[in-house]
Each structure stands twice: as C-alpha cells, then as structure tokens.
Amino acid sequence: MLFVVAWPVLAQADDTALRRLRAQYHPGEADLIGPHFTLVFGEEPSQEARLREALAGLSRRPFWFLLDRLVRHDLAPPSRRAYLLASPSDGAAELVDLYETLASRLGREAFEPHITVGLFDHAAAAEQVARIVERQHLPMHGRVEELALLRRDGDALETLLTARLGG
C-alpha cells in the first residue's frame, strides 16, 4: 500500500513529547513511523506513477501549523476503542489542499488533518489522556517543509520519494 505523509518540523521538546506519547499509546505504529500528517492513505501500488507525478508537480510553499487541540475519534460499535488525534488550527487549510491535490478522486472521504497520538481500548481512557496532554504539551507550533511517498509492506516502510516544498 502507498501513503503520502507530511513531515512536521517541531521544536525538539515538542517532537520528543509526541514521539514519547506515540511510543506509549500507539507503539505498533510508533516503531514504524514518527509523528506525521497522512495525506494519502492506503493507495494501491498501481497509483505510484500518479503520486510521483503529483508530488513532482507541487508548487506549494512550506507552511506553519499550530496543534492546539486533541480530538477523540471513536471506532464504530461494537468496538469501544478510540484514537486520540492532535489537530491543527493554523495550517489545516494547507493540509486539506495538499490532500485534495494528491488523493485519488475515487472514494475520497472527508479529510481532517491530524497527527495520531494513540489508540486506546476505551474512549474514556483516551479522554483522560487528552486532558493531561492538552494541559502539559499544547499548543505545539511547527512547520511542514517536506512530503514523502511511502510504501508499506507488512511491517516494513520504504521511502520511495521525498518532495521539498519550494519557496
């Protein structure tokens, strides 16, 4: 499967905090990939040429973002699990624009830019952690300067292409 991610550039303390939170609350993914905004999720390998071309043709400038809230995303019942997501206010429009440029037209879903902080067995646990994290770590300011096209094969993640935002 193919993915396109935007790599956040954060202050060292914020980057460390996000990496620690992900290691604690989303260890399977944290071992595979650090904090990121996913712009294209799970495209078929047949889309690689299209994604390479789209990334090569980007004429966007780097941009700032502000992570200032945590959002709980509950999985559909009967699951009681919930994701905890760090959502940007500033920079969200730029991330949505990148998503709309890069995602395939087929099956496009509503896109809410975020960095996944964790996956919890119960929504109440996610809510409890959200209150602590918001108090101790938010807001976080950062910048997006680079995107990457990634291929995931099981537990392996390979970078196929990186694209620096110009300007």
Instruction: Report the CATH number that the domain containing residue 117 is assigned in CATH.
Output: 3.90.1140.10
Burial class (CB in 10 A: 0-12, 13-18, 19+), 71: middle
Phi, psi at residue 144, to the nearest 5°?
Answer: -105, 120
Rounded mean pLDDT, 44-71: 95
Q: Which residue has the tokens 């976080």?
A: 140
Q: pLDDT of 70-88, one tens digit each? A: 999 999 988 899 999 999 9
Q: Is the pLDDT of residue 107 over 80?
A: no
At CA 82, angle to CA 134 and CA 115, rounded to 5? Answer: 50
**What is the number of domains present in the chain?**
1
Q: pLDDT of 109-164, one tens digit each? A: 789 999 999 999 999 999 999 999 999 999 999 999 999 999 999 889 999 999 99
CB 40 within 8 Å of CB 102: yes
Rounded mean pLDDT, 95-105: 89
Give the domain extent around 104: 2-164
Q: What is the pLDDT of residue 155?
A: 86
